[in-house]
Chains A and B, each alone.
Chain A
Amino acid sequence: MTELERKQDHAPIPVGWEYETAPESRDIVTLRERYGHFVGGEWLEPKEAYTTISPATEEPLAEVGQATEEEVQLAVQAARDAFENGWSALAGAERAKYLYRIARILQERAREFAVLESLNGGKPIRESRDVDVPLSAAHFFYYAGWADKLEYAFPNRKPKPLGVAGQIIPWNFPLLMLAWKVAPALAAGNTVVLKPAETTPLSALLFCDVLRQAELPAGVVNIVTGDGRAGAALVKSDVDKIAFTGSTEVGKAIKRELAGTGTKLTLELGGKAANVIFDDAALDQAVEGIVNGIYFNQGHVCCAGSRLLVQESIYEATVDKLKRRLQTLRVGDPLDKNTDVGAINSQAQLEKIQELVASGEEEGAEIYQPPCRLPEKGYWFVPTVFTNVAQSYRIAQEEIFGPVLSVLTFRTPDEAVEKANNTPYGLSAGVWTEKGSRILAMAQRLRAGVIWANTYNRFDPASPFGGYKESGFGREGGLHGLAPYLDFE
């Protein structure tokens, strides 16, 4: 460390600085009072309904349907009809053009979607604007191009669509997860029934208006809203495939439910990823990567770098820098463009985070939370770091799905690998080192589906994503993301 760096590292942090608020206007979003289910290109008046709120203010945003078994059945039937009466016979090149249209409309209406995503989900507008929405459009654009090239993706295998895909998505990236599911399914020639998460249905419902503008044939995409009961009804319905992203617990339940039925299944489940920092890493970059790894989207990320593994020789320097960086994170209004960490998605999730954090303190870990003023209403949690964490602690084993980092140490690469792999999950991992050969050696030995080196939480439509072990199976993204939506001879 140079003298200048040392000075900078010990300069007082400007906690007293007041930022001017920089709110993104929410006027761009016009919500209806009540939404039905989108079935066969029409709005179906729901039998039951509930109110969806903004987690940052707890204000009600709209009433949405709680789908019953019959309503789910109608959606599946509409998807089946659309599959049999036109969509499956449509030339790939024409399917491609529909997908390109959707991609373009998402780009055109990007700001509207970004605001709505932050409003309903609580994530910072900076993230929904710069990550969620552009990546969603990119996914449709990428898979559009595959629709008429499937025989090149799978030479000599005569790829054929499966039929109706039932898709259940989580609340952490509502529009992006929709794109990850819908784009490859349609490119492969399937029709879709999608159920967004209970707490974040609005971007999916706004997406129905994109479908209208794109003039996608009725019934090709159907959207039913509601809680887990609607998801369970979809799993039990007459679909040809289930694609689920969510908790490992629910994923296992779905797997049990589908046992012996032959319904195709892909699961993208939980994680407890290790982010491994070697002593030759560019430390300031690594600290940014650690912060992005765990505080991005309030830590509501299945691949979040929730276990920090730091080489012992740089442990103190890393933790010092990390704590200082935490003090500069701005927690608050998701629609404020300065905000780094937004609202926790729901009361239930907040309670889960609080419970696990309490267990960490009880088990003996040392907690650090920067001074932080939280809004009075809404669901909030201060970015948290635990040090002195043993591998056996619940905060080192269980997925917290919140802005909570557990720090562990290692001495040798072998020990890092051993600790990183010591989990039933295997979704992702991070490696920070300036040595390219070490990156590849670690990447080979880490048992996880996605390895980020000197970066973290980076996504791309061309890059396959998915887990090892109890993090699920099947890939989304890239050429490999098409296969789960196709049958082969």
Chain B
Amino acid sequence: MSRLPVRKTYKLFIGGDFPRSESGRTYEAEGQNVARASRKDVRDAVRSARSAFPKWASMTAYNRGQVLYRVAEMMEARRSEFADLCSGPKEVERSIDRFVWYAGWADKLAQVIGSANPVAGPYFNFTVPEPQGVAGILAPQEPPLAGLVSRVAPALVGGNAVVVVASEPHPLAAVELAEALATADVPGGVVNILTGLREELAPVLASHMDVNALDVSGADGDLAELERLAADNVKRIVRGAADGQSAWEIEPFLELKTVWHPIGV
């Protein structure tokens, strides 16, 4: 007699925990019952991200790079699981390599994006990139894994905490990624992943007053309305590649700080 496999319950990822939706709802996607996050789940996720942000942002760049590299290690261990949940092994390899690529940027960003500025006066004047804070990310609907990684990794490497709304039709790769993140030394709350209905969750994220940036690279539908909602607290709107990598994908998640330090004896 063959063994009956143990199935997985597909849950949300908030503050390092795996809760069901507080609403108790699910929706069916890819043949599974997946948690259907509520507006309150979005708000809880933002609160987790906000409290995780200071520690993540003040970690040394070397350390943050190592944590992101560790994500790639944990993903590598789950290659076959991931392959079943996206377009296949190629997408998985691309996604893992992308995390490695972005991990390496952590301690190089300031040298490429920052500057020392020759002002006319006795000041050492320099500009350094800093994270914006909490980034809301509407992950591309496709590709399920590479799309998610393409948007989340550049936000993370700059020191932001993120709240991600996963692909609505293909959410399982996102849940699998959450499980990899949970074992990868990423502090709880730095990445929060919500599954559910895009139409319901996106406006809550767009209008939330404690979210600093809104990544609409994966948004579909009424983009104008989301951008209008985002104006209430002057959110940065990020439009990037759904499946690509570049240092210039990191830059839209950064602020630039310029310091005038006095020179004198």
Residue ranges of A at the interface with B (Cβ–Cβ < 8 Å): 138, 157, 248, 251-253, 255-256, 258-261, 267, 269, 424, 436, 439-440, 443, 448-455, 458, 460, 462-466, 468-473, 475, 478-480, 488
B259 / chain A contacts, CB cutoff of 8 Å: 440, 443, 450-451, 453
Annotate B217-255 by CB proximity to A: 1 below 8 A, 0 otherwise. Answer: 000001111111011111010000000000010000001
A458 to B132, CA, bound (A): 24
A447 to B232, CA, bound (A): 19
> Which single member of B125, B132, B234, B236 contacts A252 (CB below 8 Å)?
B234
Known: A462-B118, A463-B258, A470-B234. 12 other contacts (CB 8 A): A157-B248, A251-B234, A252-B231, A443-B259, A453-B261, A454-B262, A458-B119, A462-B117, A462-B125, A468-B132, A468-B255, A480-B127
Asked whether any CB of chain A lies closer than 8 Å to the CB of B256, the reply is yes
B62 / chain A contacts, CB cutoff of 8 Å: none
The contact sample of 15 A-B pairs, CB cut-off 8 A, is A252-B231, A259-B224, A439-B261, A443-B259, A450-B257, A450-B260, A452-B260, A458-B119, A458-B123, A462-B118, A463-B125, A464-B258, A470-B234, A475-B256, A480-B256
Whether the Cβ atoms of A466 and B256 lie closer than 8 Å is: yes
For the complex formed, measure the closest distance between the CB of A56 and the CB atoms of chain B, giving whole angstroms.
30
For the complex formed, measure the closest distance between the CB of B53 and the CB atoms of chain A, giving whole angstroms.
11
A462 / chain B contacts, CB cutoff of 8 Å: 117-120, 125
Whether the Cβ atoms of B256 and A460 lie closer than 8 Å is: no
Whether the Cβ atoms of B261 and A480 lie closer than 8 Å is: no
For the complex formed, measure the closest distance between the CB of B167 and the CB atoms of chain A, giving whole angstroms.
22
**For A440, A465, A470, A478, which residue has the most chain B Cβ atoms within 10 angstroms?**
A478
A465 / chain B contacts, CB cutoff of 8 Å: 258
> Which single member of B119, B230, B232, B233 contacts A469 (CB below 8 Å)?
B233
A470 / chain B contacts, CB cutoff of 8 Å: 233-234
> Which single member of A260, A452, A478 contacts B115 (CB below 8 Å)?
A478
Whether the Cβ atoms of A455 and B236 lie closer than 8 Å is: no
Whether the Cβ atoms of B257 and A424 lie closer than 8 Å is: no
Whether the Cβ atoms of B256 and A464 lie closer than 8 Å is: yes
Whether the Cβ atoms of B262 and A259 lie closer than 8 Å is: no
Whether the Cβ atoms of A443 and B257 lie closer than 8 Å is: yes
Asked whether any CB of chain A lies closer than 8 Å to the CB of B121, the reply is yes
A252 to B226, CA, bound (A): 14
A458 to B260, CA, bound (A): 9
Whether the Cβ atoms of B119 and A255 lie closer than 8 Å is: no
Whether the Cβ atoms of A436 and B261 lie closer than 8 Å is: yes
Whether the Cβ atoms of B234 and A248 lie closer than 8 Å is: yes
> Smallest CB-CB separation from A446: which chain B residue?
B257
Nearest 6 CB-CB pairings of A with B? A260-B224, A259-B227, A460-B119, A255-B231, A259-B228, A454-B262
Whether the Cβ atoms of A259 and B258 lie closer than 8 Å is: no
> Which single member of A259, A449, A451, A468 contacts B231 (CB below 8 Å)?
A259
For the complex formed, measure the closest distance between the CB of B58 and the CB atoms of chain A, giving whole angstroms.
8
A458 to B256, CA, bound (A): 17
B117 / chain A contacts, CB cutoff of 8 Å: 460, 462-464, 478
A485 to B16, CA, bound (A): 41
B228 / chain A contacts, CB cutoff of 8 Å: 256, 259-260
A463 to B117, CA, bound (A): 6
A258 to B222, CA, bound (A): 14
> Which single member of B115, B230, B255, B260 contacts A455 (CB below 8 Å)?
B260
